[in-house]
Structure 1
Amino acid sequence: MVDPQDILKFWLDDVGPDGWYNATPELDAQIRRKFGDAWEGACEGRYSLWLTYPTGALAYIILTDQFPRNMFRDTAGAFSTDRIALAAAKSAINKDWDMRIDEPARQFFYLPLMHSENLCDQDRCVRLMCERMPEYGRSNLLHARAHRAVIRQFGRFPTRNAALARTDTALEAEYVARGGYGNTVRALQNETAAA
């Protein structure tokens, strides 16, 4: 049976910052193999005790927000536990447990907000990145602002439409065809450079 420390050691130490946003089929397969059963356990409510202390909550959020994006890449499964990850993140943040975790690991409390298709969550994510990630927040802030820009424009992430069997609007199809999220990031970078 997996415990929170297994998840934290693997994600924070073994994979680390260099691997967090560097998707590879090998890492995806490794996460499926090592943590697929634990993810199913979280879906069944087996790890609610983890939500009673900061490091347990962090491990739970990584298990339900980060790992599905690897295990089920480009499918609906990638987003299937977003709701429970978001609830866990909001609860932990409201207790200031995020502030008991050092950067850069602290960001994982905020990423469920960044992954939410709700503008209020997006605004809160940007605010938290500004206020609570002083050392590592610059890059994270750029991506938080980019996610918020997409939700402001479309009310959802068009890049998820195929996986979630949602029909693209004409504007969404055009957005994706013109470079989608990457273009949003570049536009914000150019805007910041010009300011």
Structure 2
Amino acid sequence: MTIQDRQEWGDVLDFWFPEGRSLSVDTQAHHAHWRWRMQGGADDEITAQFSELTAMAAQGDLEHWAREPHGRLALIVLLDQFSRSVWRDDARAFAQDPHAVSLVTEGLLNGHYASLETPWFQIVFGLPLGHCEGPDHLQRIDKLINLRQDIAAVAPAPLRDIYFSLVTQARDVRKVIAAFGRHPHRNKILNRKSTTAEEAYIAEGQFPHTKAFQ
């Protein structure tokens, strides 16, 4: 692993986690950081600063980052989060999901997830479990819910409400997948025909990823 690799993944993590690695964070500021992360407010900055790295990750050129826990986390951020900004409203935004979920699955088994020192690192590490569509989607979301419950239970007391709200958000995602077997809000971008029930759901606009931290 080169110094450049560590600097690059450090830049990704420093940008995506302004609260850093100390558990002594201001509750209101932390809530604002989550809202910023989950509401698409960073698209322009991500595109300006990380388009090249995101493309490299999508092409498989940064797989060596996954040898270390924080490198794996940064790679997941590029594939699961920054891809959605760099390729907003394009099918490429979701094309990296299987790759990202494979990194999560391996990281849960090899100790990388458990070694991450903050609840916000662990939450973002697990996001692909709910994002990646596929036949095992419900089972992965159940795993995600269990992980988030464990995170919330041991989070610093002032932050627990934030993390229990993320448990609720994962449960809301589960309801969507149980009903439709996929994320209907992606249908237009992926050129998929929506069912009548999906059209009604889309028209309501109450998507779990947009309701969180409003």
CA offsets 1:35-67 (integer angstroms, 9 cap, x no match): 111111112221111111100100000010011
Within 5 Å, give how 1:44-59 maps onto structure 2.
Answer: 44-59=59-74
CA distance in 2, matches of 1:43, 1:145: 29
What SS is found at the alignment partner of 2:179? helix
| Structure-2 residue corresponding to 1:8 | 13
CA offsets 1:87-136 (integer angstroms, 9 cap, x no match): 11111111232222211221011100011221111111111111234325
| Contact 2:18–2:33, Cα closer than 8 Å, also in 1 | yes
| Structure-2 residue corresponding to 1:171 | 197
Within 5 Å, give how 1:1-195 maps onto structure 2.
Answer: 3-13=8-18, 16-24=33-41, 27-101=42-116, 102-117=118-133, 118-134=137-153, 135=155, 136-181=162-207
| Contact 1:150–1:157, Cα closer than 8 Å, also in 2 | yes
CA distance in 1, matches of 2:181, 2:146: 19
| Structure-1 residue corresponding to 2:158 | none
TM-align CA RMSD: 2.2
- Structure 2: unaligned runs, 5 residues or longer: 20-31, 156-161
CA distance in 2, matches of 1:181, 1:19: 16
Aligned AA (1:10): F
| Contact 2:119–2:151, Cα closer than 8 Å, also in 1 | no
| TM-superposed deviation, 1:69 | 1.5
CA distance in 2, matches of 1:164, 1:51: 29
What SS is found at the alignment partner of 1:167? coil
Aligned AA (1:21): M
| TM-score, normalisation: structure 2 | 0.78
| Contact 2:9–2:75, Cα closer than 8 Å, also in 1 | yes
